[in-house]
Amino acid sequence: MTSNAMSEPSDVDLVFDAHDELGEGVTWDHARRQLISVDIMRGRIHIFDPDSGSVRTLTVDQPVGAAVPCRSGGLMLALRDGFARLDTDSGALAFVAYVEFDQPGQRMNDGTCDAAGRFWAGTMCMQERPGRGALYRLDADGSVHTMVTGVGISNGIDWSLDGSTMYYVDSLTQRIDRFDFDLASGTIANRRPFVTIDPADGCPDGLTVDTEGGIWLALWGGWAVRRYAPDGSLDRVLRVPVSHPTTCAFGGTALDTLYMTSATIRLTDAERLAQPLAGAVICHRPGSRGRPAHAFAG
């Protein structure tokens, strides 16, 4: 931690508790005023309505790493076997593109959409073996493009305010990396480290970028979400009452609420008792605001 970083107490609120094993993929659907998140290994997708306080949970028959809204309705999912569209009214699931489906030890993990509506999501080996995964880009026409290979655990993705930089986490590298990004072509280049995390502080997981260009990073095993300034300096540390926060995203009408997912999958029974909010979606209002998440263009 840099000397000027501010550490904040765990003044977080419970959003809803679905008792997730591996909560992930939180995103705010700004058009529909709904919060979407997943419970990966159970194949559950949660849709939370903050106006009514209700949670609707849909289940698919394989692990789901991320779910993003589609412009045409429904959700696009990053599943164990690839990308599939979920009709949230009927529950019907239709595969759009298979990815590594012939490798049963692999699954898709975290993902999000760029400003052109392309869905970026990556894979990982379920035994967390280095180099077995990749990062993919799903375009609106259903075509899939391999963007990065040799990935350990593909995780957080977001873009700088001007759209020229893509931030990316491969958790096994203990880093946030950055790429040069071209929106028109959807290409990335010139990968280089942005921030390196000491393993003693946790493992880098999901991230989001706020309206000032700050990068908020969840630390798996680290009891914290950190904010890094655009120059890579550590600006703030939000202490949270769960040891395994997994990702974060701004939402709410004013986009001023930082929503965070969490996990219980690595906890002992005693640790679960000591962390009653583990496995829940929690939130905090840090005084920063986020940007509306992009929907899939298909």
* Cβ contact 46:38 at 8 Å: yes
Residue 171: how many other CB atoms lie within 10 Å: 22
Instruction: Taking the CA atoms of 182, 136, 21 and 38 in sequence, report the sign of the dihedral they define.
Output: positive
- 13 CB contacts (<8 Å, ≥6 apart)? 282, 283, 284
Residue 131: how many other CB atoms lie within 10 Å: 12
* Cβ contact 49:93 at 8 Å: no
3-state helix, strand, coil in the chain (%, to 5): 5, 55, 40
* Cβ contact 70:87 at 8 Å: no
* Cβ contact 281:245 at 8 Å: no
The Cα–Cα gap between 154 and 132 comes to: 10
Is 205 part of the annotated catalytic residue set?
yes
Closest CA to 262 of 225, 234, 290: 225
- 8 CB contacts (<8 Å, ≥6 apart)? 236, 237, 238, 239, 286
- Of the candidates 81, 205, 210, 235, the residue annotated as catalytic is 205
Catalytic residues: 205
